[in-house]
Structure 1
């Protein structure tokens, strides 16, 4: 039976977790956080679980101690603190996962199993597992700009990339939510795994569950056996866009997958384990949807542990010159230029369609100026 060290100053918390894991893991209690490293050397555990809010010698100091080991163990924080900055600091200090209370036993065991599995050596030649070292961001998957907003987004992507936590990306239409999702995937150790994208709002309700979870022969008329996107994204990332449009039944199913790490194809009686990182995006206020009874609060709680909020273009107009330069250099007319008056004209606009609208505006202007020099007269916003 694999061993895990649990660091907490509360005996009741250690007893509770030891009882919860008694059938699958031997829990080595650590009431004194300063003794964590010595217990690791003595018992050779597979992972470390710890409470971050410790007196005297904090959980952050424990994480720093773990990073000094020749072969740092994977660490999961279990805490009542859910402030995003608190989570970011824990991940930045060395934690690979962050589980907030209250949690279910199935969620705890699933996350712990996944944590240990992802840190074990893998045979890449046989297609098993992933590269653990974060890779450089995939070509084209980067954010243009130097504004404080964009710098913060880049930092959050860097901190969140290697976490197992689901990520919720919020922002108006056209702000680049799909781009951030790609950044999270391709800068993580899952980068060699699959990256599946599904627009929840674009899939017919009648096909949504089979598309996500798969189906068996005979599940419905003319049904053939097929994998759903959770299975297709095994050992990789599944990006669910427009999550605010999910139906009640889909929300319930998603909650089960997140908690248990298992999917069941339509028409099947058995469940399949999937190691899939979930990233969701929405241009709606999920809090308002919860108040209106259109979105489950427990699902919002699960998918929004890590949140990245994208600013509208009107709040980062200092980035417009860089965006314009980038779009021009990567257009069909890379030698085209733009006048200072035209650039100022673009910066004075409020951009309800955000970066997507800016790109379309420039494409029209390039056609009107025949790919030479863009003036104010070549610009139209509709």
Structure 2
């Protein structure tokens, strides 16, 4: 079981919460700050739950300030360097609590090894346990993403256009402004979005990606904002994309496909920083960096009344345009060699006539199509050398009924 340390100064709340949490975690309890610091060193928990629900905002900021100092001391002692701590701050119903305490929560978020989550006090201890389990599940996905993502997201290209794009990404990576990435399908917009995240200071938090084209209008709220238990039949408490992306990056792919009915709901979150889970009357807040992508310029969609112009201004403080592959043909040999090494155990060599054929093609599917072409060439080749005849373009295949495709000359 994962170790969880529960800090609580209201003795009446301890027993029911500990009983619920003990079903899922190895729980320790600290009733004061000295005991908290000692137990952190002794037990080395992976989850810290701070119960501040019964404390007024003025006293909570004192506790949060002391907690920050304890965490910084741990960091200096390198006791917490091996993995991140999930720090869950549980507050009460006082609407002014977050306003008063937000600067102190923000200070905690600056500690390198801490992932901070702020949640309202649950009336049902079992619901609290479910919320913490969901947080741990999200962190597990984050660790997997960190392991699979290299420190340098591989954006390959040495053309003038791509050097400009890479420079933009490096310049924008640490900024808070929302970014809109535009480009034809298959140009690598999500790769650019991941680079914006992993090349910046948000890299130790979540990168959450949603494809707006795949979200039905009826599911938008639950996918984006999450659900509370009982919101509908068989509904359970579940974090939405915005809550998962807290302190990190929310990537909305194909944002131009977002329905007109869903757009004002997203706009409100961007304007206020608050959202409500489906079935929950209480507002929640989240701080995330929004990165959006579209193969159609939202300005053009707004001119046709298919996209709200006020939302365009909210998502596009900064704009990155990814050029189509046909406009950076000098990058094709680099990309092709990269895909060859990816799809073959032994490095395949691309002969000059194969490269000439690749560079002469117009690439309607862009880099995604190039990847497919190289994968096909590697799969059909056992010699280790790829010639022009090995290069087959799907757009040039002729399909007749159920017969096998024939490659046109």
Aligning the two structures, in what range does the TM-score lie when normalised by the shorter sequence? 0.5 to 0.7
Deviations 1:253-306 (A, max 9, x none): 111111111111111211111011111101012122111111000001110111
| Aligned with 1:225 (options 225, 237, 252) | 237
2:318 is the counterpart of 1:325: no
Q: Supply the distance in 2 between the matched residues of 1:269 and 1:329 (Cα, whole angstroms).
A: 53
**Which is greater in Rg?**
2
1:300 aligns with 2:312: yes
Of 363, 372, 384, 1:372 maps to 384
Cα distance, 1:375–1:166 mapped onto 2, change above 3 Å:
same
* Residue 332 (structure 1) shift: 2.4
Q: How does 1:1-382 map to 2 (within 5 A)?
A: 122-128=110-116, 138-139=150-151, 141-370=153-382, 372-382=384-394
More helix by share: 2
What TM-score do the two structures reach when normalised by structure 2?
Answer: 0.61
Supply the distance in 1 between the matched residues of 2:178 and 2:103 (Cα, whole angstroms): 14
| Distance (whole Å) between structure 2 residues aligned to residue 328 and residue 121 of structure 1 | 42
Give the conservation status (yes or no) of the 8 Å contact 2:109–2:116. no
Structure 1: which 5+ runs fail to align?
1-109, 130-134
How far apart, CA to CA, are the structure 2 residues paired with 1:155 and 1:116? 34
Q: Shift in Å at residue 195 of structure 1?
A: 1.0
| CA–CA distance in structure 2, aligned partners of residues 330 and 147 of structure 1 | 22
| CA–CA distance in structure 2, aligned partners of residues 142 and 363 of structure 1 | 18
Question: Are 1:138 and 1:183, in contact at CA under 8 Å, matched by a contact in 2?
Answer: no
Tell me the CA shift for residue 128 of structure 1. 4.2
* 8 Å Cα contact 2:217/2:261 also seen in 1: no
Q: 1:176-235: per-residue Cα shift (whole Å, max 9, x none)?
A: 001001000001111100111111111222212100011112322322221111001111
Partner of 1:153, secondary structure, is: helix
Q: State the secondary structure of the residue aligned to 1:290.
A: helix
> Does the CA-based 8 Å contact 2:115-2:205 persist in structure 1?
no
Partner in structure 2 of residue 102 of structure 1 = none
Unaligned residue ranges in structure 2 (runs of 5+): 1-98, 118-145, 395-409
2:261 partner SS: helix
Query: 2:59: which partner in 1?
Result: none
* Structure 2 equivalent of residue 30 of structure 1: none
Q: Is residue 333–residue 371 contact of structure 1 (8 Å, CA) maintained in 2?
A: no
Q: Give per-residue Cα distances to partners, 1:100-137, cap 9 Å, x unaligned.
A: xxxxxxxxxx9xx98997677833344349xxxxx9x8
Measured after TM superposition, the shift of residue 138 of structure 1 is 3.2
Structure 2 counterpart SS, 1:249? coil
CA RMSD of aligned residues (A): 2.4
Partners of 2:369 and 2:169 in 1: how far apart? Answer: 24
Aligned equivalents of 2:169, 2:103: Cα separation in 1: 19
d(CA) in 1 for partners of 2:225 and 2:113? 28
From the superposition, tell whether residues 174 and 125 of structure 1 become closer, same or farther in structure 2 (CA, over 3 Å): closer
SS for the counterpart of 2:174 is coil
Normalising by structure 1, we get a TM-score of 0.65
Structure 2 residue matching 1:127: 3-state secondary structure: strand
